[in-house]
Structure 1
Amino acid sequence: MTEISPALPPVSHVAAPDSRGFGHVDTWVFDLDNTLYPSDARVWPQVDERITLYVMRLYGLDGMSARALQKHFYHRYGTTLKALMIEDGIDPYEFLDFAHDIDHSTIRLDAALGDAIERLPGRRLILTNGSRRHAENVARSLGILDHFEDVFDIAAADFVPKPERSTYERFLDRHGVDPTRAALFEDIARNLVVPHDLGMSTVLVVPRTLDPFREAFEQEAVQEPHIDHITNDLAGFLGQQVLPRVAA
């Protein structure tokens, strides 16, 4: 495995020697958090802090202890929500409403990204471990919501998060997507293993500089067999690497 340090700006586009292209793609699937917006939008830090606060209140813990428990849950179960549903039977909708009650004024309209997504031929969908409401609020603030056909959220996945195979299969079945004619854009490398295995073209979206609010493994620009392309500039990648090839 070759790693490109997330602390340094990687090249704007890295393609594997045998990478899958985009000429055959008719369905474009995007993760939401840390994929469709940059770290300076400060969306995820707010959500992360709200999750910590929820854990503090649920268990009567101080901030440091709640944070440690939250991260333990994340590593063991994949999401804190899944852990709390299993461990304490919480209401997932209540949790999601609380976690996603954030300030959206830090999100800037992204005209370049909106233009690039709008020009993608075929269907465009959001696949997220967050809630539909969160995805719609963020996408609306970015000015890109109207470019998407639908959002497949954690509730649609029966609260089973990516990277579980059943989540992707449920998504594909729900929306009638042929994975061999689809591309997925994601910010966490492990979330691309199953999609690639199913036949999707995969793109890992990494930050331009290390985000201190996220764990290092979530930001690694790793070159592995299940990753066809890596970029730290989604709008530029779509405009310069994808659109010229699908239009050809």
Structure 2
Amino acid sequence: MTRPVWLFDLDNTLHDANPRIFPHISRSMTGYLVRELGLSEEQAGELRARYWHRYGATLLGLMRHHGTDPHHFLRETHRFPDLGTMVLRQPALRNALRALPGRKLVFSNAPRSYADAVLDVMGVRALFEAVFSIERMRFRPKPARRTFLALLRSLGVAPARCVMVEDSSANLRMAKTLGMTTVWISPLTRAPAFVDLRLRSVVELPRHLDKLL
């Protein structure tokens, strides 16, 4: 593969968001629905689950059925008292990313301000050419096909040049359907057929370049 284009997810790919970040965002989203829609916490939780099941994201349901301003929602639900202590850093991440040839971008359903802040905390923001956040996707999150196609058009590259690095199997399925090489970041040992390589951590990538390029 000539000068590959690496597309990295952010949460649970470049860092582990499960212990601290995701619980905080979940509480913030429930609180937002309680305040803005006048719901109880139980009702807010049920509505979030319903919209997630139907649309793949709470925000899409809120925009469609309640006229929610997506910028306001993302700003209010991604406030952190001390992000620096909440992000779980991988000490070897910076060197691992620098060892990868080609272009590197972040392709995340997260808001831009949050993505930039997390990358800054980890000390790797300068290693990425760009961040394709939910705003840049016009609030159409992965794995929407048109979102992937819009990204490819913006980059001016063919899918065959791209390596998608993700923890989400649904996103990787779409990437493979379009012709990308896929890397699944997961502790599970059995990978779906549409996964080209499974790793426990992105810091392992440089040791497996011969299997990808």
Q: Under a length normalisation based on structure 1, what TM-score does the superposition of the two structures give?
A: 0.79
Question: 1:200/1:246 Cα in 2 relative to 1: closer, same or farther (>3 Å)?
Answer: closer
Question: 1:41/1:143 Cα in 2 relative to 1: closer, same or farther (>3 Å)?
Answer: farther
Is residue 53 of structure 2 the alignment partner of residue 75 of structure 1? Answer: yes
> Could you tell me how far apart the structure 1 residues matched to 2:34 and 2:22 are?
18
Aligned to 2:75: 97
Aligned to 2:180: 200
1:25, 1:182 within 8 Å by CA — same for their partners in 2?
Answer: no
Alignment of 1:147-162 (within 5 A): 147-162=127-142
In structure 2, which of residues 193, 207, 212 is the aligned counterpart of residue 240 of structure 1? 207
Aligned alpha-carbon RMSD (Å): 2.0
In structure 2, which of residues 97, 101, 104 is the aligned counterpart of residue 124 of structure 1? 104
Give the superposition deviation at 1:50. 1.1
2:12, 2:18 within 8 Å by CA — same for their partners in 1?
Answer: no
Aligned to 2:122: 142
Cα deviation 1:94-141 (Å, max 9, x = unaligned): 111111112312224433011111221110000111111111011111
SS of residue matched to 1:185: strand
Aligned to 1:186: 166
Cα deviation 1:30-83 (Å, max 9, x = unaligned): 011111112465222211221111111122122222112111111111111111
In structure 2, which of residues 15, 39, 47 is the aligned counterpart of residue 37 of structure 1? 15
In structure 2, which of residues 196, 204, 213 is the aligned counterpart of residue 228 of structure 1? 196
> Could you tell me how far apart the structure 1 residues matched to 2:90 and 2:202 are?
11
Higher RCO (C-alpha under 8 Å, 6+ residues apart): 1
Give the superposition deviation at 1:179. 1.1
SS of residue matched to 1:111: coil
1:127, 1:151 within 8 Å by CA — same for their partners in 2?
Answer: yes
- Percentage of matched positions with identical amino acids: 34
Letter in structure 2 aligned against 1:231:
L
Question: 1:246/1:59 Cα in 2 relative to 1: closer, same or farther (>3 Å)?
Answer: closer
2:105, 2:131 within 8 Å by CA — same for their partners in 1?
Answer: yes
Is residue 94 of structure 2 the alignment partner of residue 114 of structure 1? Answer: yes
1:183, 1:202 within 8 Å by CA — same for their partners in 2?
Answer: yes
Letter in structure 1 aligned against 2:129:
E
> Could you tell me how far apart the structure 2 residues matched to 1:128 and 1:52 are?
22
> Could you tell me how far apart the structure 1 residues matched to 2:89 and 2:165 are?
20
Work out the number of aligned pairs and report it. 211
In structure 1, which of residues 51, 56, 61 is the aligned counterpart of residue 34 of structure 2? 56
Aligned to 1:19: none
> Could you tell me how far apart the structure 2 residues matched to 1:112 and 1:41 are?
20
Q: Under a length normalisation based on structure 2, what TM-score does the superposition of the two structures give?
A: 0.91
Give the superposition deviation at 1:240. 2.2
> Could you tell me how far apart the structure 2 residues matched to 1:80 and 1:55 are?
10
Question: 1:192/1:82 Cα in 2 relative to 1: closer, same or farther (>3 Å)?
Answer: same
Is residue 65 of structure 2 the alignment partner of residue 87 of structure 1? Answer: yes
